[in-house]
Structure 1
Amino acid sequence: MKVIHHTRPQADVTVNGVTITAEAIAAEAQNHPMPRGKPGWAWRAAAGALVLREILLQEARARGIAPAAIELEADKWETEDEALIRQLLEEAIAPAVVDEARLRAVYDAAPDRFRGPSLFEAAHILFPAAADDAQARAAALERAHAVLAELRRNPGRFSVLAAEHSACPSRTNGGLLGQLASGDTVPEFEAALATMDEGSISENPVETRYGVHLIRLDARVRGDTLPFASVLPQLRAAQEKTDWVHASRAYVQALTGRAQVTGIDLRQTSWLNAQEPA
């Protein structure tokens, strides 16, 4: 692959003679928020994404693929370019043959990972704050720490303090949430429950999209270990996805290696080497 560097920032890029303008790259950069301390990252990421798209479209057209858009959801269809890229990858990347014995070895190495839903009985005190409101979050955390300090002195006051401070309707019942199954609560809340001992109160306030919680775990019943046959479809799907990602990356790298690209060093693009540029 021949790469020619431009000295000025935000220059045009070409792919096998097809120009991707700096204006198009700047527009695409809006979809790539810049990480802190990485000036120029958004432009490089946007340029890399457009280069990849152009390489794939050129290959699809060279193969004579006719776009056949599919409906993604009700009244929302693929664009012609999206259809071409999807069809190219379907044609070029053969489905991997998953070795069931390999999946069995994964299961046997840690069967405890594969359990049915756990059941929890818990109570909480909610201090509401939107996830994007830093001031409200800070105030909620301060209130939660103050109440937690009181709970450490007198855990038996949980119900009373829930009635006084919680913004959840469960406050009228001492913060009791009843029986919860895996998946009934947001992931952050469930993760906290999974690490707590029965009868304990969370060591620190727990933040979720709803605000800040103090949690008491009253009881837990862990789900039974699931038999291999019942988790096999899940394991197979995960392995097929992993294999497809590896195969598609190798395919893209091969196409890129044959392309003549000017204006950007593709070694700095995360989609090519599976890591973010420094």
Structure 2
Amino acid sequence: MDDVIERAAVRVGGVEIPAAAIAAEVQNHPAPDAATAWAQAAEALVIRQLLLTEADRLRIEPDERCDERGRPLLSDDARIDALLESEVSVPEATEAEARRFFDRHRERFASEALVEAEHILFSASPDDEFSYSLAVGDARMAIRAVQADPASFGELARAKSACPSKEQGGNLGQIGKGQTVAEFETALFALGEGELCPEPVRTRFGVHVIRAGRRAEGRQLPFEAVEATIRDYLEEASTRKAVAQYLSILASQTTIEGVDLPIADGPLVQ
């Protein structure tokens, strides 16, 4: 029997949401399994129906509205937007609130450290134990060669490296946190300026010889530079909380079948 037919009927205040509509909505809710995707799609349509029913009750008519990208909203979406604008009040974040948030989370508002990186890649798959062992041996030989003659790094990279950076003598430019695989990043950021990693670094791409270049430490950004961003963040968080509370009120006044809305567990309006 078709999976859609087996699902429990979903109704909001007596209005049934067709299984076909939920099935169509599933594509907008990627999930680890079909049951979870279905549940998320059903919740989204229940919330939409709750809001449209309330817009009907308050006789809210659609007007010309656009989304954050400047695209005109469809009639029902415009009515929902007008309803939330009318019924959900969110105060503006003050400078004092923004400053308190800044003081509690200063680490979020610092420019990241950057390290110039040079490397030589000996390509091998970790699944091929023999080839990977050979690559480790080649990397050790290259490390010894660079230790004996630091100026030879670029020449070795051009001759031996499997990375396109060999055309620049192995220079990858400045690297920030999160821009490369974890093993490479850990090794690179542990090095001092101009220091060669004394051991080959193993990653899924192969085996690397790594040398750090110039290092630019992260700098704390002043409050004035991030105040507007913090205020926007605080107001967005307040908006989502206020909308969730508003939905909770609507749901408590409506008979909903086939879906348990987790309104208290997190934001429900995308």
Give the TM-score taking structure 2 as reference length.
0.71
Deviations 1:111-140 (A, max 9, x none): 354224544322346799xxxxxxx99779
The runs of 5 or more residues in structure 1 that have no matched partner are 1-7, 129-135
User: Is this contact kept in 1: 2:126–2:206, CA < 8 A?
Assistant: no
Kindly provide the amino acid, as one letter, of the partner of residue 266 in structure 2: A
User: Is this contact kept in 2: 1:14–1:263, CA < 8 A?
Assistant: yes
Deviations 1:30-62 (A, max 9, x none): 3333425xx622221111111111111222232
User: Is this contact kept in 1: 2:22–2:38, CA < 8 A?
Assistant: yes
Deviations 1:157-211 (A, max 9, x none): 864256534342x221222133x386xxx94339837844333559553x8xxx7
Q: Distance in 2 between matches of 1:54 and 1:127?
A: 58
1:87 to 82, 85, 89: 82
User: Is this contact kept in 2: 1:124–1:162, CA < 8 A?
Assistant: no
Q: Distance in 2 between matches of 1:90 and 1:20?
A: 25
User: Is this contact kept in 1: 2:122–2:161, CA < 8 A?
Assistant: yes
Bigger radius of gyration among the two: 2
User: Is this contact kept in 2: 1:69–1:80, CA < 8 A?
Assistant: no
Q: Is 1:97 aligned with 2:89?
A: no
Partner residue in 1 for 2:232: 237
1:50 to 45, 50, 64: 45
Deviations 1:3-55 (A, max 9, x none): xxxxx83133111121111122122223333425xx62222111111111111
1:166 to 154, 162, 165: 162
Partner residue in 2 for 1:273: 265
User: Is this contact kept in 1: 2:111–2:220, CA < 8 A?
Assistant: yes
Q: Secondary structure at the match of 1:189?
A: coil
Partner residue in 1 for 2:179: 188
Kindly provide the amino acid, as one letter, of the partner of residue 9 in structure 2: D
Partner residue in 1 for 2:61: 66
Partner residue in 1 for 2:149: none
Paired-residue identity, %: 31
Closer/same/farther in 2, CA of residues 102 and 256 from structure 1, 3 Å limit? same
Partner residue in 2 for 1:133: none
Q: Distance in 1 between matches of 2:36 and 2:98?
A: 39
Deviations 1:200-244 (A, max 9, x none): 559553x8xxx7895643221123322222222222122112211
Kindly provide the amino acid, as one letter, of the partner of residue 30 in structure 1: Q
Q: Distance in 1 between matches of 2:181 and 2:76?
A: 41
Partner residue in 2 for 1:10: 7
RMSD across aligned positions (CA): 4.0
Q: Secondary structure at the match of 1:35?
A: coil
Closer/same/farther in 2, CA of residues 104 and 32 from structure 1, 3 Å limit? closer
User: Is this contact kept in 2: 1:127–1:143, CA < 8 A?
Assistant: no
Kindly provide the amino acid, as one letter, of the partner of residue 10 in structure 1: R
Closer/same/farther in 2, CA of residues 148 and 77 from structure 1, 3 Å limit? farther
Q: Is 1:41 aligned with 2:32?
A: no
Closer/same/farther in 2, CA of residues 176 and 242 from structure 1, 3 Å limit? same
Kindly provide the amino acid, as one letter, of the partner of residue 55 in structure 1: L
User: Is this contact kept in 1: 2:241–2:267, CA < 8 A?
Assistant: no
Aligned-pair distance for 1:252?
A: 1.4
The runs of 5 or more residues in structure 2 that have no matched partner are 147-151
Q: Distance in 1 between matches of 2:56 and 2:23?
A: 26
2:191 to 184, 192, 197: 197
Q: Distance in 2 between matches of 1:97 and 1:239?
A: 9
Aligned-pair distance for 1:265?
A: 2.7
Q: Secondary structure at the match of 2:60?
A: coil
